[in-house]
């Protein structure tokens, strides 16, 4: 399993904007980055979250 950190925002016309912030190999690593990325939430229509993704193959995660 990998964890995806994503920013989501609902626009006024019911469109959804999103940005994939990062991919992590553990929930702890994702939550650590989530606390830093929380500055991206500037309206009540925006949120960030760590989402678990099941994979059927090994995923190569590059740390920058």
**Any domain includes 58:** no
**Any domain includes 62:** no
State the residue range of the domain holding 39: 2-53
**Any domain includes 8:** yes
**Any domain includes 63:** no
**Any domain includes 43:** yes
pLDDT of residue 26: 93
C-beta of residue 41 within 8 angstroms of C-beta of residue 47: yes
Residues of the chain with pLDDT under 70: 59, 61-64
Summarize pLDDT for 32-49 with one digit per residue, the tens: 999 999 999 999 999 999
pLDDT of residue 59: 63
**Percentage of the residues of the chain whose pLDDT score is greater than 90:** 73
Dmax of the chain from CA atoms?
Answer: 39
pLDDT of residue 23: 93
pLDDT of residue 28: 96
């Amino acid at each position: 399993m990998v964890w995806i950190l994503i920013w989501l925002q609902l626009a006024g016309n019911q469109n959804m904007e999103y940005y994939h912030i990062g991919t992590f190999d553990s929930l702890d690593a994702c939550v650590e980055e989530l606390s830093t990325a929380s500055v991206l939430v500037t309206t009540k229509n925006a949120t960030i979250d760590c989402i678990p993704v099941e994979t059927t193959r090994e995923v190569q995660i590059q740390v920058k």
